[in-house]
Structures are given as C-alpha cells and as structure tokens.
A and B are shown apart, each in its own frame.
Chain A
Amino acid sequence: MRRWFFAGALLVVVAYLIGAAVWLHPFGIPSSSEMDDYFIANAQKEVAANNVVTSIVFDYRGFDTLGEATVLLAAVVGVALVLRRAVR
C-alpha cells in the first residue's frame, strides 16, 4: 500500500517536472523588458560605470546588496557564536 502511494507521488512529480520543461518560457524572450532596456540604455550615462551589472548591484538596487552583505555578516556572526567556546 505504501509502495503504491509513493509510486503515485513519484509519477505526479515526474509528470510535473516534464510538463514544466515542455512548457518552459522560451529563453532570451523576456515577457517584459522595460527595466532591462532602461538599464542598458542609461547605466553608462547615469552611473558612469562600464559594468552595467555592477551599476545595478551597487547603485540601482543597492538595498539588495545591503541585504546580501547583512546575510554574510549574520553567517559569520553565527559561526563565531557557535564556535566561541571550542575555539576560545
């Protein structure tokens, strides 16, 4: 009984994954590209950086990077906290 249950669950998951692969959104054709076009057209003029990715990461979406840095800080603090007795 359990075996048939798990076999059915496996079938459902496999069918879901195959369906997701078949009906995947085509690559290179974003459904909306207003933001991309704006960044590519204006990043060099507004931020004066040749690397558009860096200008997005550190300028347009600086809050995102702040969160990323906070995650790293939290990870380091967590490791230091867990190992504080073991390492002295």
Chain B
Amino acid sequence: MSVVVRTIARIVLPVGLAFGAYVIMHGHLTPGGGFQGGAVVASLVALIVVTFGAERLVRAKTWFSVVEDLGALAFVALAFLGIGVTFFRNVLANSGGLFGASVPLGPNPGILNSAGTLPLMNWAVGFKVIAGLGAVVLLLALFGKGGEGEDG
C-alpha cells in the first residue's frame, strides 16, 4: 500500500492494541470481554495484512496456532479449577486473594481486582480469539497471494 496508508497504520496499530487490551482486561466491569477485545486485535492483524502484506506474517502462523491451543487449554483449566463443587464454579470470587475482592452492591465504578476467574477466562478467550481470527485472516490472505504486498 501507499506511504499514506502505511503511516496511518503505524499510528493506528498501537492505539488499537491498547484499546483491545483494555476491552479484554475490563471485560468484567464494562461492556466487552474476551471475544470482543480479541476481535478488535484480530482486526489489527487484518490491517497489517492489508497494509504491509501477508508475507511479513508467514512465520506468525505457527505462533497463532500455539497461542490458540494454549488459550483453549487455559480456558478449560480455569473451568476445572472449580471441579470440587461443579464445573465452571467461580472459586476465586469473593475469596480475598487474586481477583477476589468483593464489590459493593448497586451502581459503582467497579474494582479491577474482582470477579474471580472471570478476568483470567477473559484473557484466555481473548488470546484464543486473537490467534484464531488472526490465523484465519492470515491463511486466507496467503491463499489469495499474488496481489497484495507490492506498492500500488
């Protein structure tokens, strides 16, 4: 793509990355979560593919599949944390430790260190969606190779 598009993409990439990380990290406080934030970051992968060409990311394919599998495993492992009571039991909530703070009832700005396993699951699902959608975009771009990548 042209130098204008590349310059704008260099500005947009860090901002979008920060916004995606915010949406994932605050999934238990504000609208959003792992799926939505992961989709935001995966759209940045599409931006890189469109702007700089898919060849730049050929070696990221392996990392995408590894991260996707690790995210799925982390999600299931977090669900198994509560197997003492039931599958998906939120054992960390209200425990006082990691992400264990209790929130006051009623409308309030929220506490980041609350909600138990929810933030951890959001991160697991977020990485899974980033890697999954990124891998799909990258594979389809590499499949249709021949047009993108060169200036014009």
Contact = CB atoms under 8 A, between A and B. Distances in A.
Contacts, number: 112
Contact of B108 (A50, A51, A73): A50
B115 A49 contact: yes
Nearest to A62: B88
B149 to A, nearest CB: 15
A36 interface: no
A76 B101 contact: no
Interface of B: 27-31, 33, 35, 61, 65, 68, 72, 75-76, 79, 87-88, 90, 93-94, 100-103, 105-106, 108, 110, 114-118, 121-122, 125, 128-129, 132-133, 135-136, 139-140, 142-143
18 contacts: A46-B94, A47-B93, A49-B29, A50-B110, A54-B27, A55-B28, A55-B115, A58-B33, A59-B117, A62-B79, A66-B76, A69-B72, A69-B75, A75-B132, A76-B135, A80-B65, A86-B143, A87-B61
